[in-house]
Structures are given as C-alpha cells and as structure tokens.
Amino acid sequence: MTNSFTCRNFIDGKWWDSTGKTTLESRNPAYKSEIVATFPRSTIADVNQAVESARQAYKTWRKVPAPARAEYVFLVGELLIQHKEELAQLISREMGKPLTEARGDIQEGIDCAFYSAGEGRRLFGQTTPSEMPNKFAMTVRTPIGVCALITPWNFPIAIPCWKAMPALVCGNTIILKPAEDTPACATKLIEIFAAAGFPPGVVNLLHGVGEEVGKALVEHADVNLVSFTGSSATGSQVGEICGRTHKRVCLEMGGKNAQIVMEDADLELALDGAIWGAFGTTGQRCTATSRLILHRDIKAQFTAMLWERTKKLRLGAGYDADTEIAAIINERQLQRVSEYMDIAREEGANILIGGEVAVEGALKEGYFFKPTILDNVTPQMRVAREEIFGPVVALMEVSSFEDAIAILNDTNYGLSSSIYTRDINRAFAAMRDIEAGITYINGPTIGAEVHLPFGGVKQTGNGHREAGSAAIDTFTEWKTVYVDFSGSLQRAQIDNRD
C-alpha cells in the first residue's frame, strides 16, 4: 500500500497549510487501520482568505469571454482522461467503491467537462420585440459571483465536477469544500484544475469540518451562491442560513427511490436492475433503489430470484478485481445501517438475507455490511420512509398499477424512480404520475447522464437542477437589457396607449 497523502488547501493559485495546526485523516474503508490522507482542519482565517481570493479573481474572470473560460474546463476533461486510472485507484482506496465504478465516477467528470465546455459557446439568451418603436430588447446571462460548492464523499470526482465546471464556464469563481471522508480525491481533482492553468483565485479548495468551514462559507457575506449535495438535515441548515442572508442556494438531498416491478415485466431484466440499483455503490447513492414495489402475482417468484442473486454477491475491497459489494464509507455509517436493522425488526419487517455487519476473514478489517433484503415492509415503517444509504432494499407488495404508483409517491422525497413493465400505456401513465425528478422505464434508478437535468422534487431539493443546460440556470442570473434608439423618452404602457 502506498504512503499516506498530505492534502493542503488551494487558495489564490497556491497550495497552503492551514493557519490552524490541527490535521484530520481519511481512512481506507476496506482496511480501517490504513490512513489514506491527512488534511487540514481549516479555520475561519482560511475561509476568509479563500473567499477574498475568489472575490478578487471574480472581478477579471467574469470578463474573460465564455468560450475562453470553457477552454480551461475542456482541458480539465483532457487531463482527467490522462489521470483516469491513477484517480480510480485513489477513489477505491479512499471512498471504497469498486474500480469499475470509480472509473465511472471519473468518466462522469470527463463527460461534464466536455458538455460544460460546449456551453461556453452557447449561454443563450433571448431577443424579443419591444412594445415601443425604435427600441430593442434582449436578455443576457450574467455570472453570480463567488460560489461555495459543498460536496459529498459518494461521488468524489463527479459531483464536484457537476458543480465546478458549469459554474466556471458561466464566469463564477469557486471554493470547493469536499467531504471529510474524501480529501485526497478532492486534492487530486484540484491539482488537475490547477494544471489546466485557471488564473489565481478562480478555483479554490478548502478542507475541513462541515460544521466549521462549510458553515462559515455559507454564512460569509461575500459568498453569493451555495451549491450543496448531502444529507437532508444539513441541507435544511444550509437553506436556513441562505434564506436569512439572501444567497442563491441549490440543495440536492436525500432520496427514497423505488423500482416498481409489474406482473407483465421481464423479470430477469427487472432483477438485473434491482441488484444494480439497490446494491451498486453499496447503496450509497442518493439515486439508489431502496424500495422494490412488487406486484403480488410475481412477488414470490421475484423475491426468490432476488434472494439467489443477493446470496452470491461478493464483498471485498473496491480495488480487488472480483469485488461486487464494497465497504461502507465509515464506522458511523456502518452503525447507522445496523441500527436500521433493529428498527426494521421492531416494526415487524422480515430480514430475508443479510442484516448484519460482515466480519468473515479480511472483511473484519473494514466497514462491511451484508447486502440485505427486508420483506413485509409497509408504507408507514421507518425503513420505508427514511434514507438508509447502505446495501438495504425493502420489498413492498401491491395488487394494482394504481397502488404501485401511490406507494411509490408516498414519500417525502422525489429524486429517482423506475418501473418495469411491457405495457406501453402503463409506462406512459407512470411517466406522468410518478412524483420524482427522474423516472426510468425498464431501467434501474441509478445511472443519470450529465447532459440531462439531475435533481428531485419534494424534500429532495429546492427546485434547482444540476447537470445539463439546467445547470446554466443555476449558475447565472438573467439580465434584461432595453436599448432605446428613438432619441426621445418613451414611456412603456403609457405612450403607446390612447
């Protein structure tokens, strides 16, 4: 194993130690005694320095032509391709996910680079007639300013890229505050941004504790926008502060995503989808399938098929070639998933398989939880309502299509959703009636592509979307411009009326 990596902050185009002396560490979730990286517990002084650097840089960056800004982002994409393998190894060590998935995480960043770079030559506004003669009307997009990007550990490359790349193309400057569990991934990513040659202060990185550095950034008067992906509890606090301080805030929070399997579905296909959706990334995606809504005519058969496949899933370190289910991110999360097993039992659910920490052989060296199927789950149970963020799927039985949709919608969240059916009428009714930001027909709940909007309804978000051209709406303001070339005062709504 390689030596531990020392992370530093990146401010004003230079790497810095924190003004504070405390350091923290990230660990390999598959081998908890291994320290992957140490990182600074940044202070308020560091926050102030980073915000000031981003504020100064904004003054000139906003005037760099958007196609030129986009070329830096394009270069980040090319550098990510060059460093893909080395970064994938690091993701697997620090975050835990299997190498194939780690490569996918980086690929999502690469896709986002090239898509966002293309936006540099669009950033379209509108022209429209004026109601007055000899007057011209148009809208242009303007950047917002200093953006604080607060990102989670589960997609340590893709999610920072989703936020940083469109923000930069739009002319904003950024401060990335990555999750405490994946500081090395964030540092390597910002090394790549640095190599792309952005002017000093345009891209900044601040490590530290969410309650300290994250909070100070969100509260800072010179931060103009906060983009946050993480838990609903933290998202509420971020939203409250931004409400009070009148900042634009984009929140991407929890999910309780469901896959419906109707009696006419291709069951093998639905099974592949369920296994990947529920247990891919060890269930640690906000898009993960945490409920399977099964029509009663196929429930017994499908449950047996699911059980068979689940039993065979191989647990192990992400960097071992045959691993299918990797470790859980940290001890706290492992504990949380375990606690949900007690809750499930108390509420009368039946644990069909899994339900416990895996300690066989080398697995005891890490944070492993066996892939788990909960049966007899009813809509009011906490395991049907709360996000668990682990390899746990709840089975719920329904007797009609209408019930299936009603149960899918019976949640405070609304990120992703899926239905397996061969009935085109049901598929279209589902597209209309499911309350979610993303609906898959005959595909699992995970696997969003970067050129389409990503985000959820209800308590998953606050009305914004990431990725696609929707991200441009997030990171720009509209400016409406009227040009009066009549040479005289023209009063709208008055001079053109009798």
Which one of 147, 185, 286, 387 is the catalytic residue?
286
Of 112 and 225, the one with the shorter C-beta distance to ligand UN1 is 112
Which one of 101, 108, 180, 252 is the catalytic residue?
252
Report which secondary-structure segment, H or E, holds 61: helix 44-61
Size of the site for ligand UN1 (CB under 6 A): 9
Residue ranges of alpha helices (H) inside 62-157 are 66-82, 84-94, 99-119
Beta carbon of residue 288, minimum distance to ligand UN1 (angstroms, whole number):
7
Of 310 and 416, the one with the shorter C-beta distance to ligand UN1 is 416
φ, ψ (nearest 5 deg) of residue 148: -95, 125
Q: What residues from 154 to 183 belong to the interface with ligand UN1 (CB under 6 A)?
A: 154-155
Structure tokens at 256: 């309780």
Amino acid at 494: I
Q: What's the CA angle centered on 201, arms 198 and 202, to 5 degrees?
A: 50
Would residue 286 show up in a list of annotated catalytic residues for this protein?
A: yes
Of 7 and 446, the one with the shorter C-beta distance to ligand UN1 is 446
Contact call for residues 177 and 42 (beta carbons, < 8 A): no
Interacting residue with ligand UN1 among 446, 471, 475, 476 (CB under 6 A): 446
Beta carbon of residue 27, minimum distance to ligand UN1 (angstroms, whole number):
21
368: contact with ligand UN1 by CB under 6 A: no
Structure tokens at 86: 């080395």
Please count the other Cβ atoms lying within 10 Å of the Cβ belonging to residue 296: 12
Among 98, 104, 65, residue whose Cα is nearest residue 84: 104
Q: What residues from 403 to 442 belong to the interface with ligand UN1 (CB under 6 A)?
A: none
Of 40 and 283, the one with the shorter C-beta distance to ligand UN1 is 283
Interacting residue with ligand UN1 among 447, 453, 469, 473 (CB under 6 A): 447
Of 183 and 280, the one with the shorter C-beta distance to ligand UN1 is 280
Q: What residues from 50 to 109 belong to the interface with ligand UN1 (CB under 6 A)?
A: 108
Contact call for residues 151 and 179 (beta carbons, < 8 A): yes
Q: Which stretch binds ligand UN1 (CB under 6 A): 20-28, 42-50, 356-364, 445-453?
A: 445-453
Would residue 386 show up in a list of annotated catalytic residues for this protein?
A: no
448: contact with ligand UN1 by CB under 6 A: yes
Of 108 and 119, the one with the shorter C-beta distance to ligand UN1 is 108
Q: In what order do the strands lie in the sheet with 350-353?
A: 350-353, 372-375, 392-398, 289-295, 257-261, 416-420, 438-441
453: contact with ligand UN1 by CB under 6 A: no
Q: In what order do the strands lie in the sheet with 14-16?
A: 14-16, 9-11, 203-205, 173-177, 146-150, 225-229, 248-252
Of 163 and 299, the one with the shorter C-beta distance to ligand UN1 is 163
Contact call for residues 237 and 384 (beta carbons, < 8 A): no
Among 403, 345, 420, residue whose Cα is nearest residue 375: 345
Beta carbon of residue 332, minimum distance to ligand UN1 (angstroms, whole number):
18
Q: What residues from 263 to 302 belong to the interface with ligand UN1 (CB under 6 A)?
A: 285-287
Beta carbon of residue 21, minimum distance to ligand UN1 (angstroms, whole number):
33
Cα–Cα separations (whole angstroms), residue 149 to 64, 219, 345, 401: 22, 13, 39, 40
Give the three-class secondary structure for 227.
strand
Please count the other Cβ atoms lying within 10 Å of the Cβ belonging to residue 335: 12
Beta carbon of residue 144, minimum distance to ligand UN1 (angstroms, whole number):
23
Helices (H) then strands (E): counts for the chain: 15, 20
Beta carbon of residue 140, minimum distance to ligand UN1 (angstroms, whole number):
31
Active site residues: 252, 286
Footprint of ligand UN1 (CB under 6 A): 108, 154-155, 285-287, 446-448
